[in-house]
Amino acid sequence: MKSAIFYHAGCPICVDAESQFVTALDPKQYSVKVVHLAEEKDQLEAAKSAGVQSVPALVVEGQPFHINFGAAIADLA
């Protein structure tokens, strides 16, 4: 099974992107973890290491995809 991590900050843009993108992934093919960086600050370094520069972002198999712009990763620190 492939892995995907959806990083967000809880803003309206992020919540909308989560409902659109996370549910679009086939659960038979992808194991999806949702990380709310405003609540899980200990995950900021993992997000940065994965190449996340802004949220919302979806990291699929180690490849970051930035979806719209809700907040810069630096603003969440």
- Residue pLDDT, tens place only, 22-73: 889 999 999 999 999 999 999 999 999 999 999 999 999 999 999 888 889 9
CATH topology of domain 2-76: Glutaredoxin (3.40.30)
Residue 17 has pLDDT above 90, yes or no: no
Q: Which residues, at least 6 apart from 55, have a Cβ–Cβ distance to it below 8 Å?
A: 7, 8, 9, 14, 37, 47, 70, 71, 73, 76
Q: Determine the pLDDT at residue 68.
A: 85
Q: Determine the pLDDT at residue 70.
A: 82
Q: Which residues pair with 65 in a beta bridge?
A: 58
Cβ neighbour number for residue 51 with a 10 Å cutoff: 14
Angle at 35 between CA 62 and CA 10, to 5 degrees: 125
Q: pTM score, two decimals?
A: 0.91
Residue 13 has pLDDT above 90, yes or no: no
